[in-house]
Amino acid sequence: MNQPKEKYLGFCQNEDKIPIFSMPWWLDAVCGENNWDVILIENGNEIVASFPFYFHTESRLKFKQIEMPALTQKLGPFIKYPEKQSYSSKLSYEKAIMQQIIQCLPNYDFLAINFDYKYTNWLPFYWNGFQQTTRYTYIVEDLSNDEIVFNSFAGNKKTDIRKATKNVLVKYDLECEDFITFYVNALKKKNENLAYSPSILRKLITKAYFYNKGRIIYSVGKDNPNDIYGAIFYVWDNDSIYSLVTAFDVTHGNVASSSLLFYQIMKDFKNSGLKFDFEGSMIEQIERSYNKFGTIQVPYFRISKINSLKYKIFSLLSELRNEFRN
């Protein structure tokens, strides 16, 4: 392990506000131990900011890319702010930190990273030629009262939950291999394929359980406990619970057990002080569903940059090819 990563490991052990997606064990699972690195900004002997990133070389054309790893909602900067800082001082502080991070980035052809929605000041990146795309996640902010949470749901979600309660049982801790098998088969029934290696999901589930930061909830038929209707692998940190992988058998779609499972997770964490993050989607049908759980829409930024002529040419040719096919 290199020195910055060793320092970062100690930093994460002492800093409880770092998102789960930026934890070293998470990055080991989704990137591979040798495929991620971290930029540390220090003031004397104190780390005041971090910027972990997934860095890999594309196998065919050898492009050096800094991108989002699989199953990871956000990365980007984490900043420790001085206490009692004024708003203008905060902006200046962010500017200085971001400029240092940009200067420390390794050589790359293409970069695309999702920032935590808490960081909205991306101007230093804009000034350095980066672009920004706004995306959205959907969050239930207060889980402390079951009744209020339930009443905030749209009418069809309430009906789904009542209906599912009559037809399925909620259970926990489906075996990792059983979950992966169910998920892959559920995707096949929709003519879809897993977008990443099953080994990544296997490592992540194993590590999340080891660190007590994740769990699998699932539903089975009341008449047939061996018949799985749906399952969710969810994780949490000290800020939010994240619905990471949702798997539902479309042949049981009319039972709508997904709504019941989401609601059960929220009830399980009612005393935690955490938010529930659906992780969002730019797909209209998914957005429509998440919006009916009493959520608020929260924007976050995807920061990107093409940093070499060869990648720019490749990108333009890809766009032309796609236009020709359409």
pLDDT, one tens digit per residue, over 163-206 is: 999 999 999 999 999 999 999 999 999 999 999 999 999 999 99
What DSSP string runs through 49-97?
EEEEEEEEE-TTT--EEEEPPTT---BS-EEPPPTT--HHHHHHHHHHH
The pTM assigned to this predicted structure is: 0.94
Give the angle 59-65-66 at the CA atoms, nearest 5°.
140
**Token output for 318:** 């890809």
> Which pLDDT band, with edges at 50, 70 and 90, does 41 fall under?
very high
Arithmetic mean of pLDDT over the chain: 94
CB atoms within 10 A of CB 76: 27
Domains of the chain: 3-135+300-325 (3.40.630.30), 144-273 (3.40.630.30)
Pick from 99-103, 191-195, 211-215: least confident: 191-195
Quote the percentage of the chain above a pLDDT of 70: 98
Quote the percentage of the chain above a pLDDT of 90: 86
Q: Is there a contact between 232 and 170 (Cβ–Cβ < 8 Å)?
A: no
Query: What is the mean pLDDT of the segment spanning 28-47?
Result: 96
